[in-house]
Amino acid sequence: MVVSVEGLVVNAINCGESDKMLTLITRQYGKMSVYCRGGRRISSKFMTASLKFSYGDYVINKTDKLNILQEANAKISFFGLQKDICAAALADYIAEVLTDVSVEEEPDEKTLDLGLNCLYVLSEGKRAPDVVKTVFEWRLIERLGIYPDLSGCCRCGKADKSWYYLDVMNGELTCRDCGGKENGKAKEDDGTARIIILMSGAEVYAANRLINAEKSKMFSLPADRDIKKRLCEASEKYLLNHLERSYKTLEFYKEISAL
């Protein structure tokens, strides 16, 4: 069956003498592995469209054993990522996370659009990488249906406290008066350890505002550097614990961004 799709290349692996195996996140079929014959040749008609981070139109022959690329036309290539090593490293992390959360035959256009928006902002240098990372993680958490209840303390219901403890796996807030836990891990009555994140009331407000913001305003974070930093740390810890994995691409990004 021959199908036409719009998709983003999130990975490209060399195989054979001149071929590639692409991973596409498509609007029509979710994640797809696609064999690109001759894609590494300079003369290949697939040369640009088969590059990592290319977004475009692809005609694919879907078979039971292999998806084979027949035609391709790149619309956007995000070449600006090559100008900033921090932006490029963060883009690799975004691509890897998109690969993990996308499913074959289950399209998710909103998650794809989130990735595209973040790659565009990074490529054009419109926002600092740490801002893009924070927005990507919080918005993805909401897209995956694992966004915590940040409406107030889960015990007393108060939403006007200065500081809260966020229980990562249960996705709920506890104020200091009701919780009394420290940032990191806290023991419950049954002896199990829970992962706890300390969040100020300003950070809770900023997270809720971020995930409800219109697309044109979603990269507007608080001006306070400490709030932005803790918001970034909270989204990372929350997302990675729910995905139950770590990313070398993220560790590399954090290493070079600290230089």
Distance of alpha carbon 155 from alpha carbon 180, whole angstroms = 12
Question: pLDDT tens-digit profile of 93-123?
Answer: 999 999 999 999 999 999 999 999 999 999 9
Distance of alpha carbon 185 from alpha carbon 22, whole angstroms = 40
Domain boundaries, the chain: 2-76
Question: pLDDT tens-digit profile of 119-165?
Answer: 999 999 999 999 999 999 999 999 999 999 999 999 999 999 999 99
pLDDT classification of 64: cutoffs 50, 70, 90: confident
Residue with tokens 């090559």: 82
CB count within 10 Å of CB 153 equals: 20
Mean pLDDT of 52-67: 95
Distance of alpha carbon 185 from alpha carbon 168, whole angstroms = 10
pLDDT classification of 259: cutoffs 50, 70, 90: confident
What does pTM read for this prediction? 0.93
> What is the average pLDDT score of the chain?
93
CB neighbour list of residue 132: distance below 8 Å, 6 or more residues apart? 90, 118, 121, 122, 219
User: What would be the CATH architecture of the domain defined by 2-76?
Assistant: Beta Barrel (2.40)
Share of the chain above pLDDT 70, in %: 95
Distance of alpha carbon 69 from alpha carbon 24, whole angstroms = 11
Tokens of 91: 């883009």
Torsions phi, psi of 55, nearest 5? Answer: -125, 130
Quick one: how many helices (H) and strands (E) in the chain? 7, 10
**Quick one: pLDDT at residue 179?**
79
Distance of alpha carbon 106 from alpha carbon 26, whole angstroms = 9
- Is 173 in contact with 154 (CB distance < 8 Å)? yes
Question: pLDDT tens-digit profile of 191-243?
Answer: 456 899 999 999 999 999 999 999 889 999 999 999 999 999 999 999 999 99
